[in-house]
Amino acid sequence: MLRHPLGLCVLLGLSLAGCEGGAPSNTAAPVNAADTLTPPLPVPSPTPEGEVKSIIRPAVHAEVAEAPEPEATPEPLSRTIGFPRSAALDDAARAALDALAQEARTRGGPIVLRGHSDSQGSDKDNLRTARRRAEVVRDYLVEQGVPRERITVIALGEARPIAPNAKLDGSDDPEGRARNRRVEVEIGVPTAAAAPAPAATPTPAPAG
C-alpha cells in the first residue's frame, strides 16, 4: 500500500486519463452534403406528337355537357285599336288588325277584347257602343282566320278613360274623347293541353 502523497496523485491521474480515452465521443461525425440532397425527379420525355404528359397522373380532359337552353315562354301581347268615328274601322285600324291576326294565329292563346267609349251619351248607350266596337274587332279577326271560340268580348263603356273627355274650363275635349273610343286587345299565353286520360282496361269475367 502506497502512503506517499505523490504516488497517490500519479495513480489518480493515470486513472482519469484511462477513463477519458475509453469514453465514447458525443461529437457527431461530419455529414456529407451530397447525402442530404434529394435526387431530382426524372424529366418527362415528350410524346411523339410533342405533348409533354404528367408523370404524376395521366392527363384528363374533362368534357362538360352543355345544358339545353329552356324554351322561351311568350309574354301576353296587348294592342289598342282606335275608333276616331263611331264604331267603324278605318284604314289604320284594319292594318293594325292584320298584323294582330298573324300574331294571334301564331301564339294560339286566349284573346280578350275590351270595348271603351267616351263620356257623351247615356251610360247604357255608351256600353252598347263599346260592345259594338269590340264585336267589330272580333268579326274582323275571325275573317282573318282566328278561331271565334278563343275570343271574349267585354264592354266597359266610359268607365275606364285614358284621356280627359273635357277640358279644365268645362268645354269639350274632342282629342281626349277620340282617344277614349277604343278597343284594347290582349292575347294571352297559350295553356298546355291536358293529357288525355288512359283508357280503362276491361276486367276479364271470372271463369264459370
Domains annotated for the chain, with CATH where assigned, are: 77-187 (3.30.1330.60)
Residue 137 backbone phi and psi in degrees, to 5? -65, -40
Q: Determine the pLDDT at residue 84.
A: 86
50 Ramachandran zone, left/alpha/beta (phi>0; psi -120 to 50): left
Does the pLDDT at position 200 exceed 50?
no
C-alpha closest to that of 133 among 118, 149, 122:
118
Find the mean pLDDT for residues 164-170.
94
Does the pLDDT at position 3 exceed 80?
no
Q: Determine the pLDDT at residue 7.
A: 57
77 neighbors 187 (Cβ within 8 angstroms) = yes
Share of the chain above pLDDT 70, in %: 57
The grid coordinates listed for 24 are 465514447
Give the span between the Cα atoms of 102 and 182, in whole angstroms.
Answer: 20
Predicted TM-score of the model (pTM) = 0.59
Q: Determine the pLDDT at residue 17.
A: 54
Residue 129 backbone phi and psi in degrees, to 5? -65, -40
Give the span between the Cα atoms of 135 and 129, in whole angstroms.
Answer: 10
The grid coordinates listed for 183 are 278597343
Per DSSP, the three-state class of 184 is strand
pLDDT tens by residue, 104-125: 998 889 999 999 999 999 999 9
Find the mean pLDDT for residues 45-56.
57
157 Ramachandran zone, left/alpha/beta (phi>0; psi -120 to 50): left
Does the pLDDT at position 16 exceed 60?
no
Find the mean pLDDT for residues 86-90.
91
pLDDT tens by residue, 135-159: 999 999 999 999 999 999 999 999 9
Q: What are the C-alpha distances in Å from 9 to residues 1, 13, 20, 39, 207?
A: 14, 6, 17, 58, 130
